[in-house]
Every structure is written in C-alpha cells, then in structure tokens.
Homo-oligomer: A and B are copies of this chain.
Amino acid sequence: MATNRQWIYARKPNGQIGAGNFDLREAPMPQAGPGEVVVRSTMLQFDAASRAWMQGQTYRSQLNPGDVMAGRGLGEVVESRAEGIAPGDVVMGDIGWQTYAALPARQVQKLDKSIAPELHLSVYGITGLTAYFGLLDVGRPRPGETVLVSAAAGAVGVLVGQIAKIMGCTTVGTTSGKAKCDWLTKEVGYDAAVDYRQGNIAGNIKAVAPQGIDVYFDNTGGDVLGAALARMNMWGRVACCGAVANYDTATPSPGPAGVPGFLVTKRIRMEGFVVMDFFNRRREAETQLHRWVQSGQLRPVVDIVDGFEKMPETLVGMFAGRNRGKLLVRI
C-alpha cells in the first residue's frame, strides 16, 4: 500500500514564517467514505493568505498546530465512492499539503483534462477570478485611467496588470528589486514599475505616473497603500484584495495615515472583497479569461517548483518575494 506524505502545520510562527514551522509526517493512505473520492495530488498551490490562516480566523477557519497544512491543489482520482466521478478524473479542491486526500465529491471540481494543470490553478482558478472581479467589479477602471497594482509580480498582480491594459489603462506595478521591476515592464507588460524597497514610494509613483492614480489594486496594505492614497486622483477607487504586508508578522502595523483624510478630500472609495462572493458569476469570468488567453492578449504567468519536499521553503520564499507569478509545486 502507498504511503501518504503530509506536511503538518506543527508550530505557530513567532514573527516571520519559517520552514521550521512545519513537520513532514507519513500517514496511512486515506480511504474513500460514502460520497467521497481519494485524490492523488499532482500540483499544489500557495496563497498569500496561508499565513493569515495560521494567525487567526479569516474567511476560513483558523488552522491549528497539528493540522495538515491547508491549501488548494489539483490531483487525479484514484478511488471513488461518488456518482459521476471515476478513477482517472482530474479534480481541484482543498487537498492540503499531502500526497493523498479523501474529500467529499461535492467539494471537488472536475476539470477539463485538455487544459494544462497550471492554468487551472492560475488564470482559470481562484487567482484569475480574483484579478478579474477585483479589478473590474470593485476597481471599475475606465479606458485612459491609470491603475496601480501592489505585489504586481505576484500571482494576482501579473494578471491584474494585463487585464488593466486590455481595458485601455496605463499600468504601474510595485514590487521588490530592480530585476523584478525590469521583468514587470519587459515581460509582463506593465507600463512602469516601482521598487518599494527603495523608499519614497509616493514620490517614485509620481515620477512614473504624474497624472495620478485612478484605481489602486491593493494586495499588500502597509506603506504602498499609504503612498497610493497620497497619489490617488479625485474619485479614485481602492480594491482591497489582501494585506500581505501584515500577513507574515505577529504585530500588524498601524493603518495608513491618509485614512480617513484622503478618502474625504478626494472622495475615494475603498472596498474589500473576497473572491468567493463572486462565484455565482464565475462562468462569465472564465469565459472572458479563456477568450483573452486564446487570443494571446492575456499570458498566464506561473512559477513551478518541483518536489513535495520543497513545500515549506517555497512558501517561505513567496513571503520573501521570490516568486514571479503564480507559485505552484509539482508533485
């Protein structure tokens, strides 16, 4: 019988997350209960929110030490006790950091095998839906406007920048380091990039976007949010997608001083969203994203690491800003 390898969330991070927060364990192969399937993991993804799950309750219940680390992924069905799903099917679901998982069949989604697995986990998955609905429904950019995106080299950011260009906007991305700035403008298609680690973020945004910012897609909070508010135009919109700047820490920093002052004087709308709330409209987004990918207007950007044993260090690397696009581990 095969063995199930699992990464256990073993110890609560005290400050920044490290590989030492996880233990590798071997467990017996799971078996399918009634209505369940057993899935062999083939590709697992990482989310910026992973760190928040360990810290407290978010949009999902808190993770506790001893639990298998949570995460979505994709796998092949090896056993099924559910109607309509058979061994050999490819499914997506909350597999967690393990090589096998037993899951209720109605909590997994059967996938089109003709599409590359990394696309299911990036542009056609939660990441793509987040970029699509967050930018278009919450940010509501109009042609000719300027869109700023933080964590622009991240999974969501690389898509937001491209969708904003498709909408006829000028795009500015923030990231860390000159190499990633160059990559954003040369490879991803951003009009300009700002290295937030250089400081004077508001001044550097102004230098590349003297016309001001109309829509800010905020993946980070923190200093970039503060700078963005200072540079926003009248009637600007801030789509709050996440707060990476505060995820990997035990002591969240204070909010931007521009709240609520700039919101009033510049009539700014700032709105948080969680992609699940848009799931009833996911077909619309998937259809549009597929069309853009097929036409070559939207290029999926994925960063694939090989080896289940590399899960913890890969997550740590994501918080250190090492990935470019959606970070995935192939198993």
The answer to whether B271 and A263 touch across the interface, beta carbons within 8 angstroms, is: yes
A246-288 vs B, CB cutoff 8 Å, 1 = contact: the mask equals 1000001111111111111111111111100100000000000
Q: Nearest CB to that of A236 among chain B residues? A: B272
Most buried by B among A218, A254, A260, A270: A260
The answer to whether B263 and A272 touch across the interface, beta carbons within 8 angstroms, is: yes
Return chain B residues, CB-CB under 8 Å to A260. 218, 221, 225, 238, 240, 242-243, 255, 270, 272
The minimal Cβ–Cβ distance linking A288 to chain B, given in whole angstroms, is 23
A104-145 vs B, CB cutoff 8 Å, 1 = contact: the mask equals 000000000000000000000000000000000000000000
The answer to whether A270 and B271 touch across the interface, beta carbons within 8 angstroms, is: yes
Q: Nearest CB to that of A277 among chain B residues? A: B267
The minimal Cβ–Cβ distance linking A258 to chain B, given in whole angstroms, is 7
Confirm or deny: A241 has a beta carbon within 8 angstroms of a beta carbon on chain B. Answer: yes
A50-76 vs B, CB cutoff 8 Å, 1 = contact: the mask equals 000000001100000000000000000
Q: Nearest CB to that of A226 among chain B residues? A: B255
Return chain B residues, CB-CB under 8 Å to A267. 271-274, 277
The contact sample of 20 A-B pairs, CB cut-off 8 A, is A59-B265, A218-B260, A221-B259, A240-B263, A240-B264, A243-B261, A252-B257, A254-B254, A254-B257, A255-B259, A259-B259, A259-B270, A264-B273, A265-B272, A266-B272, A267-B271, A267-B273, A267-B274, A269-B270, A270-B271
* Chain A residues near B (Cβ < 8 Å): 58-59, 218, 221, 225-226, 238, 240-243, 246, 252-274, 277
